[in-house]
Amino acid sequence: MIRPAADGGEVSVEVADAVATLSFFHPKGNSLPGTLLSRLAEEVAALGRNPDATAIVLRSEGTGPFCAGASFQELQAIQSAEQGKMFFMGFARLILAMIRCPKFIVARVQGKVVGGGVGMTAASDYAIAVPGASVRLSELALGIGPFVVGPVIERKIGLAAFGTLAVNAADWRGAEWAREKGLFAEVRDTIEELDLAVADLAARLAASNPDAMARLKAVFWQGTEHWDELLPARAELSGRLVLSDFARQAIAER
């Protein structure tokens, strides 16, 4: 099922042999405007309730970036703090949908990952990448800061590694760095090996006990119950910061 967006992006879902493949695409580097964020969150929640799907593969289309993060066009269009909060709530809702989903989510990371895409990867339960899948949190350079995605990234890779990404907003960190810190579970040499590894793991998960996996996932994300209040508060903070003169100039120069 493909759900196109007016801006050229789309989200699609396919379920076969108890594996759901959730794909997204946007012509601007697989960036995430509000429409795609909402649809991804909706589809994750729906797949969590779908009895035909036991495991979920999250992927983006194309051979370029896995995800270029937030849509700069939408960031530039924000005119009020409320609009800003609404935009950043898109990332909050997607993260919450992913960690609350009772099924394991395997991320197929075929390219570079920026900003909100790093948060989406961290919210996955198992990420497999290729050597070219460098990561960067560019939010501070934009005058914002990675506030909404911060909690899930910090939980996955620890405060020190999160701080490295958040403070040095200009430099890329390689896929091996991301694997060593725990953002990626595996790094495979080629796209072909990546696809084989993702398919093999997804098939094994599809044949596993759904109740055991749901209970194990609950253990993984235990202690995040307060995120239902924390992430909206972070979205509100980001929504105010994006209106600053510093942020407006930095975003306009991109």
What is residue 7's DSSP assignment? T
Q: What is the pLDDT of residue 8?
A: 67
DSSP string, 139-207: TGGGTS-STTTHHHHHHHH-HHHHHHHHH--SS-B-HHHHHHHTS-SEE-SSHHHHHHHHHHHHHHHHT
Name, in order, each residue with C-beta under 8 angstroms of 173's C-beta and a sequence gap of 6 or more.
134, 135, 136, 164, 165
How is the chain split into domains, by residue range? Answer: 2-190
* pLDDT tens profile 110-153: 999 999 999 999 999 999 999 999 999 999 999 999 999 999 99
Which residue type, as a one-letter code, is found at position 180?
Answer: E
pLDDT digits (tens, 9 = 90+) for 151-173: 999 999 999 999 999 999 999 99
CATH topology of domain 2-190: 2-enoyl-CoA Hydratase; Chain A, domain 1 (3.90.226)
pLDDT value at residue 225: 97
Strand-pairing partners, residue 187, are 129
Q: Which two tokens mark 212?
A: 């055991």
- Quote the CA–CA distance of 5 and 55 in Å, as a whole number: 26
Query: How far is the CA of 126 from the CAs of 75, 76, 233, in angstroms?
Result: 30, 33, 27
Residue 178 pLDDT greater than 70, yes or no: yes
- Give residue-wise pLDDT tens across range 32-90: 999 999 999 999 999 999 999 999 999 999 989 999 999 988 999 999 999 999 999 99
Instruction: Tell me the Ramachandran region of residue 174: left when phi exceeds 0, alpha when psi lies from -120 to 50, beta otherwise.
Output: beta
* Cβ-based neighbour number of residue 58 at 10 Å: 26
The interaxial angle of helices 150-157 and 227-241, nearest 10 deg, is 120
Whole-prediction pTM: 0.94
Q: What is the pLDDT of residues 195-223, one digit of tens each?
A: 999 999 999 999 999 999 999 999 999 99
**Cβ neighbours of residue 90 closer than 8 Å, sequence gap 6 or more:** 32, 34, 37, 38, 41
At residue 236, the 3 state secondary structure works out as helix
Which alpha helices (H) appear in 50-80, and where do they start and end?
A: 72-77
